[in-house]
C-alpha cells in the first residue's frame, strides 16, 4: 500500500537531543574530552569575566562552537550560526537546547575574539593533552618539529611601496618662500577657479596590474591589507607569496601536536620557533630528549642550542657542511626519528584542507597565531576517537 505524502505539522517533540545522536558517533568521545578539559579551565574563565553586567556567551559554548567550525570546515561564523538553527548535532555538541535561540553572528565573533587569544588557545590545547585518557598516548622523550606556510588574507596587489617621508628639498606649497629665493620670482597663488571634476575618477578594485620588471621586497614594500604579512617562499622553484609561518611540535608516539606557534615569515623563523616551543613544553628540564627535523634545521647554531638544552638533534643531514656528525647518526634512534618526523605533515595537511588554514581569513600575527594553535588542538581532537578505540 502506498504511503501518504502528508506533512504532520507537529508542534512538539518528545525525543531528547541526546537520544538522537548515535552511540558510536565520533563526536561523543570528542565532546567528552572537550567538556572535561573545559571543566579544568573553569578558574581561568572565571578570571576573565566581571560579576556584574549583562551575561555574555558562555566561554564553554563559544569554544565548542569554534571547534565545530574547524572540524566541519564551516567557512564563516554567519554560516555556523545558520547551521546551528537547524542542525541538531551542532546544537547537541555546543550545549544548546532545541528551543534555545542562536547568537547573532557579529556578537559571536566579538566574544570569540576577546576569549580565544593566543594564551587561551594554548591553555585549551594543554588541557586536552592533560586529559586522563589522552595523557597516556603521549611520548615524553621523542619529538619532531616543522613549519608550514599560511597564506595571508592579502593579495599581491596590496603589496605597495612603503610611505616615505618627504625629501628635505620638497617645500610645502603653503609655506612662505625660503630666504634664498629670488624676490623677483612671482609667487604662485592658489587658483581660485574651480577645475571641473574628471568624468571617471573611480578606479576598478581589481584592475589589471603588470608586476614584470618591478623589484619588490619586504624592505621597501608592505601590504596595505595586512601590514604584518611578509613576502616569502620556502623552497626554490616556487613563487613568493604574502604569508606567515605556522610551527608545530609533535610527539612521535601517537603523532599529536603538543605545541604550536605562528610567526612572520623569514629564513630563521623556524629555528627560533623550534627552540621556543621546546623550552615552553619542558622548561628547565635536564632530561635528554630527541628532536627530529628536516634539512632546513641543519644549522650549526641551532644544533648547538639544542645540545645545550639537553636535546639530541635528530636533524636530517644536508649534503654539504652538515652540523650533524657520526655521534648522532650512528644510533638506531636517529633513523627512527627521521622516519617518524614526516608524520607532522599530516597535521599540516589536515589544518589546510579541513581546518581552513591554507589561507587564513584573519589579519595580524596575533589573531592568526591564536587560530593556528586552536586548529592544531582541533586536529588532535579529530584523531582521538580512533586512537582511544585502538
CATH number, domain with residue 367: 3.30.420.10
Same structural domain for residues 111 and 151? no
Average of pLDDT values for 318-326? 90
Q: CA–CA separation, 138 vs 129, rounded Å?
A: 8
**Is the Cβ–Cβ distance between 380 and 125 less than 8 Å?**
yes
Query: Could you report the per-residue pLDDT of 89-115, keeping only the tens digit for each?
Result: 999 999 998 889 999 999 999 999 999
Q: Nearest Cα to 129, choosing from 259, 315, 267?
A: 259
Same structural domain for residues 255 and 380? yes
The reply to whether 290 falls in a domain is yes
The reply to whether 260 falls in a domain is yes
The reply to whether 384 falls in a domain is yes
Same structural domain for residues 279 and 383? yes
Same structural domain for residues 380 and 291? yes
Same structural domain for residues 100 and 247? no
Same structural domain for residues 149 and 287? yes
At 122, the pLDDT band (50, 70, 90 cuts) reads very high
The reply to whether 49 falls in a domain is yes
Question: Per residue in 273-302, is it b (16+ CB within 10 Å) or e — as a string?
Answer: bbbebbeebbeeeeeebbbbbbebbbbeeb
Q: Which residues are 293's β-sheet partners?
A: 315
Q: CA–CA separation, 353 vs 40, rounded Å?
A: 31
At 1, the pLDDT band (50, 70, 90 cuts) reads confident
Which pLDDT score, from 0 to 100, does residue 9 have?
Answer: 67
Share the mean pLDDT of the chain: 87
Same structural domain for residues 42 and 147? no
Q: Which residues are 290's β-sheet partners?
A: 142, 312
Percentage of residues in the chain with pLDDT exceeding 90?
70
Which pLDDT score, from 0 to 100, does residue 184 have?
Answer: 46
At 179, the pLDDT band (50, 70, 90 cuts) reads very low
Choose the final residue of a domain: 57, 83, 115. 115
Query: Could you report the per-residue pLDDT of 237-247, keeping only the tens digit for each?
Result: 888 999 999 99
Which pLDDT score, from 0 to 100, does residue 286 have?
Answer: 79
The string of DSSP codes covering 35-82 is HHHHHHTHHHHHTTS-SSSS----HHHHHHHHHHHHHTT---HHHHHH
Same structural domain for residues 373 and 309? yes
Same structural domain for residues 367 and 303? yes
At 202, the pLDDT band (50, 70, 90 cuts) reads low
Examine the pLDDT at 148 and tell me if it is beyond 80: yes
The reply to whether 271 falls in a domain is yes
Which pLDDT score, from 0 to 100, does residue 190 have?
Answer: 43
The reply to whether 220 falls in a domain is no
At 194, the pLDDT band (50, 70, 90 cuts) reads low
The count of structural domains within the chain is: 2
The reply to whether 280 falls in a domain is yes
- Domain enclosing residue 315, as ranges: 139-155+234-389
The reply to whether 133 falls in a domain is no
Which range among 153-162, 213-222, 295-304 shows the weakest confidence by mean pLDDT?
213-222
At 182, the pLDDT band (50, 70, 90 cuts) reads very low
Amino acid at each position: 500500500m502506498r504511503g501518504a505524502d502528508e506533512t504532520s505539522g507537529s508542534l512538539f517533540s518528545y525525543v531528547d537531543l541526546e537520544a538522537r545522536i548515535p552511540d558510536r558517533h565520533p563526536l561523543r568521545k570528542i565532546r567528552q574530552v572537550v567538556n572535561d578539559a573545559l571543566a579544568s579551565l573553569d578558574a581561568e574563565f572565571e578570571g576573565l569575566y566581571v560579576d556584574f553586567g549583562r551575561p555574555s556567551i558562555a566561554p564553554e559554548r563559544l569554544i565548542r562552537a569554534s571547534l565545530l567550525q574547524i572540524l566541519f570546515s564551516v567557512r564563516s561564523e554567519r554560516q555556523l550560526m545558520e547551521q546551528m538553527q537547524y542542525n541538531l548535532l551542532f546544537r547537541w555538541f555546543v550545549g544548546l537546547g532545541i528551543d534555545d535561540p542562536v547568537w547573532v553572528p557579529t556578537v559571536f565573533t566579538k566574544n570569540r575574539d576577546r576569549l580565544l587569544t593566543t594564551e587561551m588557545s594554548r591553555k585549551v590545547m594543554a588541557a586536552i593533552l592533560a586529559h586522563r585518557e589522552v595523557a597516556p598516548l603521549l611520548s615524553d622523550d621523542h619529538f619532531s618539529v616543522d613549519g608550514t606556510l599560511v597564506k595571508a588574507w592579502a593579495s599581491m596587489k596590496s603589496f605597495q611601496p612603503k610611505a616615505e617621508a618627504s625629501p628635505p628639498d620638497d617645500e610645502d606649497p603653503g609655506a612662505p618662500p625660503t630666504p634664498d629665493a629670488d624676490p623677483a620670482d612671482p609667487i604662485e597663488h592658489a587658483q581660485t577657479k574651480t577645475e571641473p571634476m574628471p568624468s571617471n575618477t573611480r578606479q576598478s578594485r581589481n584592475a589589471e596590474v603588470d608586476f614584470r620588471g618591478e623589484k619588490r621586497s619586504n624592505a621597501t614594500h608592505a601590504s596595505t591589507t595586512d601590514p604584518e604579512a611578509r613576502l616569502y617562499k620556502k623552497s626554490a622553484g616556487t613563487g613568493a607569496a604574502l604569508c606567515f609561518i605556522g610551527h608545530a611540535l609533535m610527539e612521535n608516539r601517537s603523532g599529536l601536536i603538543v605545541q604550536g606557534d605562528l610567526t612572520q615569515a623569514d629564513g630563521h623563523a623556524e629555528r627560533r620557533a623550534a627552540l621556543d616551543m621546546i623550552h615552553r613544553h619542558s622548561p628547565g628540564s635536564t632530561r635528554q630528549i630527541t628532536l627530529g627535523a628536516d634539512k632546513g634545521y641543519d644549522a650549526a647554531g641551532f644544533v648547538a642550542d639544542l645540545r645545550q638544552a639537553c636535546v639530541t638533534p635528530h636533524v636530517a643531514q644536508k649534503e654539504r657542511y652538515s652540523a650533524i656528525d657520526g655521534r648522532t647518526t650512528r644510533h638506531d634512534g636517529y633513523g627512527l626519528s627521521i622516519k617518524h618526523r614526516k608524520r607532522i605533515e599530516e597535521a599540516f595537511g589536515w589544518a589546510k584542507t579541513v581546518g581552513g588554514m591554507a589561507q587564513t581569513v584573519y589579519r595580524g600575527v596575533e589573531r592568526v597565531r591564536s587560530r593556528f594553535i586552536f586548529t592544531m588542538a582541533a586536529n588532535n581532537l579529530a584523531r582521538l576517537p580512533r586512537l582511544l578505540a585502538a
